[in-house]
Amino acid sequence: MVQKLNLQQAQKSIDTIRLLSADMVEQAQSGHPGTPMESAPIAYLLYNRHMRHNPKNPNWPGRDRFILSCGHASALLYSMLHLSGYGLSIEDLKNFRQIGSPTAGHPEFGHAPGIETTTGPLGQGISVGVGMAMGARFLQQKVSADLFDYNIYGLCSDGDMMEGVSSEAASLAGHLRLGNLTYLYLDNKITIEGDTDLTFTEEVGTRFLSYGWHVQHVEGENVQDIDRAISKAKSSPRPSLIIARSHIGFGAPNKQDTHDAHGAPLGADELKLTKQFFGRDPETSFAVPAEVSAHMGEAIARGAEQEAAWQVAFDNQLKSNPALGAWQTAAKGELPAGWDDLPAFPVGEKLATRQASGKTLNSLAGKLPFLLGGSADLGPSNNTTLKEEDSFTPETVGRNIHFGVREHGMGAVLNGLAHTPGLIPFGGTFMIFADYMRPPMRLAAMMGLGAIYVFTHDSIGLGEDGPTHQPIEQLANLRAVPNMTVIRPCDANETVEAWKAAIANRQGPTALILSRQGLPTLDRSVFGAAEELQKGGYVLAQEQGELKAIVIASGSEVPLALEAKTALEQDGIGVRVVSLPCWELFEKQDQSYRDQVLPTDCTVRVSVEAGSTFGWERYIGIAGQAVGMTGFGASGPADQLMKQFGFTVENVVAKVKGLL
């Protein structure tokens, strides 16, 4: 039972949040004081009256989630975590934005307890929240309606509303009627460059109404109105947007409602005047009145009581609900026994790796009940449809998600699903459209989220659609992202192994790079075992006689490398073919293994890959030759394009002989 709102107590707490935040920015001489100052009433109400959370166990699965989408206002979140008992000390607040401090310039997942996701790039937090809301609904339907009835709250700004990703995700949320999602929008009319009249005069509320959201308007300083609006939002069957007409830098006499309060400290003199406005000692910094500390600290006992009640319900259900036991195992990061016992593909069958991926994915779905995902309206092409499963719709929560033509939103939603304990999410599109997804993929890598990306149509081999759809630089771009595992299998059985690697990788995202065109399934009694993919690279075909040259390839160019080997050995040149589907896994092997695959004394090396040659000098050396793309593709039949751009036996043979 929520107690009656004590306005005097609330106001003193709100003002403390404001001044703590302003002090942090002033101490660091860096940051954004204005947004924390205007949003303090909202944060207070969420953490003290509406959110179900336990500061002493921030990862309690039954908690509500809070996302600070406007991550530049991180001082607000750190103030709340300190006052609510999450373990951030005053010293941590004083070290705001300093090296090694948990109070970073933007909230970073894993750096401090209570941070649900990394935010900063505007629009991403809003969109991650949609994935979190979908994850909660999935667990409600598939595991327990009572245990996973939590809500997701987000605080967002004008910048969040301007970024296109938020529109993609909000449109999907409205369509799915995610009633467990509430966003509070700070309508302060200010951006870094000045008034929003410069660029942003749309009716945001009308836009969200058109998406199917429940929309309310409140005054940002009216604590009672905000309190009532949040209560209404929680009871709505639709996602909710609460538009708060707020005042950036509230309480700063000379900087309130100006862009000067946005991205720089208030300044010593202005901060003293602000403290006087709130009736505080202007000479004292980082002050927390004892009554505020006691009041805000009540969240600890309240949260412990809420979690204890949840745990009793969990224990009672566990006895009779097998799905709950399966989820508990998955939430620990454990995979069920036999999950990787997958069928092999017969030798000689010509199959596109996207097709092999679809068959493998469906086999995995029968073993992994919390594997879910879909495509950006390309399911039939990406082969991402789970054939025995329902769709995720407003009425039915299935494992097939239809993201619509929303790649950017899909990437962020996958992050929200990956934040949901136990879930393994995947999303597919053509590889060229990985460009649309780069911001959320980068954040997934930064946070160590195990999202899986299914990128098909991976080269000029897709043919007639032409250079707008033919990925050239995308593979190199993906490989450049730290903690991103990028795998480009060469045949059906390497594709099976690629999926095994992706499922096992819960420490970061995995990108599967798959062909449109059919590729022969190799005879593994003659060539290296497909299981060797787990090492990233391996000797696919040993040289005959003395080793004179190494041809290194990935994906659809591996058969070409094997043909070139045959041609070269007819001339008495001993050639080794190395399949190198994953640079990241290969680099994790010890040096002795890597030297065994790529002996240092063999410097005649040629790489063959139908993408940018950028980065291949790592494996072929400065003296090596790269058969790849140095410009954009063209429209035409795939086999003709391959010849035009030099992916022929004759060209590979010439490159090797040129080095000899």
Domain ranges of the chain: 7-305, 350-520, 535-659
Helices 34-45 + 74-84 axis angle, to 10? 40
- Write the pLDDT tens digit of every residue in 10-45: 999 999 999 999 999 999 999 999 999 999 999 999
Give me the DSSP letters along 486-506.
EE--SSHHHHHHHHHHHHH--
Residue type present at position 133: A
CATH of segment(s) 535-659: 3.40.50.920
Tokens read off for 341 = 């016992």
Average pLDDT score, the chain: 97
Domains 7-305 and 350-520 share a fold: yes
Tokens read off for 31 = 């940051």
pLDDT on residue 1:
55
Establish whether 168 is a catalytic residue. Answer: no
Task: Name the strand (E) or helix (H) holding 426.
Answer: strand 424-430
In whole angstroms, give the CA distance from residue 51 to residue 48: 7
Domain 350-520 - what CATH class? alpha beta
- Write the pLDDT tens digit of every residue in 434-487: 999 999 999 999 999 999 999 999 999 999 999 999 999 999 999 999 999 999
- Could you give the percent of the chain with pLDDT greater than 90? 99
Residue with tokens 């920015």: 25
pLDDT on residue 349:
86
Of 24, 62, 18, the closest CA to residue 44 belongs to: 18
Domain covering 7-305: architecture: 3-Layer(aba) Sandwich (3.40)
Per annotation, catalytic residue among 163, 407, 497, 557: 407
- Write the pLDDT tens digit of every residue in 597-618: 999 999 999 999 999 999 999 9
**405 within 8 A of 377, measured Cβ to Cβ:** yes
Task: Name the strand (E) or helix (H) holding 372.
Answer: strand 371-375
Residue type present at position 384: T
> How many residues does this entry show for the chain?
660
